[in-house]
């Protein structure tokens, strides 16, 4: 498990700590997490779980670009995307939080999950971060997908065919999907 890539990953992530050695000690002997300040090496865009997981799926479809780190907090139902720091960045949307300078992020080591924190995509050790433009496009696509999933099947049937289907037809087509 402790190959060169993992070691680079640990060193890169711990470098964001005020005391990198203490950070690594907390990962190995403490509660398994360290509080790291955003805004120096990276910022974090925290989004609702459903939106974030769909956006990760969109980002993985571009086989030529590897996405940056993605951290999930299962209890808070949030997904955090690591971005380049930028004081001028503004992110607007329901449930979206941009965490920059002055924000502290609980972070597990890149080689294992801790409690409710898990790496969906751990840091690669090379400093790869999400491109804000690519992440915005992925979030927009994920938002569209969520809107379609939450749309009433009757509305979708009406829009696609120009006529309303009978209730029994909609239920048969959607397998009585709960809303």
Segment 40-54 shows an average pLDDT of 95
Do residues 132 and 98 lie in contact, with contact meaning Cβ atoms separated by under 8 Å?
A: no
pTM listed for this prediction: 0.81
* 55 pLDDT higher than 80: yes
Do residues 45 and 114 lie in contact, with contact meaning Cβ atoms separated by under 8 Å?
A: no
Q: Which range has the worst mean pLDDT, 65-74, 85-94, 104-113? A: 85-94
- pLDDT tier for residue 90 given thresholds of 50, 70 and 90: confident
Do residues 44 and 99 lie in contact, with contact meaning Cβ atoms separated by under 8 Å?
A: yes
pLDDT score of 41 = 93
C-alpha 145/C-alpha 55 separation (Å) is 10
Over the stretch 60-80, which tens digit does the pLDDT of each residue have?
Answer: 887 778 899 999 999 999 999
- pLDDT tier for residue 170 given thresholds of 50, 70 and 90: very low
* 49 pLDDT higher than 50: yes
Cα 93 to the chain's mean position, in Å? 15
* 54 pLDDT higher than 90: yes
- pLDDT, greater one: 124 or 150: 124
Segment 100-121 shows an average pLDDT of 92
Tell me phi and psi for residue 32, to 5 degrees: 95, -5
The average confidence (pLDDT) of the chain is 83
Number of other residues whose CB lies within 10 A of the CB of residue 4: 8
């Amino acid at each position: 498990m402790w190959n060169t890539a993992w070691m680079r990953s640990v060193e890169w992530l711990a470098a964001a700590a005020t005391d990198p050695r203490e950070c690594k000690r907390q990962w190995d002997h403490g509660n398994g997490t360290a509080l790291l300040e955003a805004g120096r090496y990276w910022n974090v865009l925290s989004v609702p779980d459903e939106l974030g997981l769909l956006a990760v799926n969109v980002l993985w479809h571009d086989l030529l670009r590897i996405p940056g780190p993605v951290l999930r907090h299962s209890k808070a139902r949030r997904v955090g995307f690591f971005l380049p720091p930028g004081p001028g960045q503004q992110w607007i949307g329901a449930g979206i939080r941009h965490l920059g300078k002055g924000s502290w992020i609980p972070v597990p080591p890149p080689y294992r999950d801790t409690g409710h924190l898990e790496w969906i995509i751990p840091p690669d050790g090379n400093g790869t971060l999400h491109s804000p433009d690519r992440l915005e496009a992925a979030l927009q696509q994920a938002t569209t997908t969520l809107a379609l999933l939450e749309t009433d099947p009757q509305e979708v049937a009406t829009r696609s065919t120009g006529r309303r289907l009978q209730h029994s037809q909609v239920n048969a087509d959607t397998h009585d999907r709960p809303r």
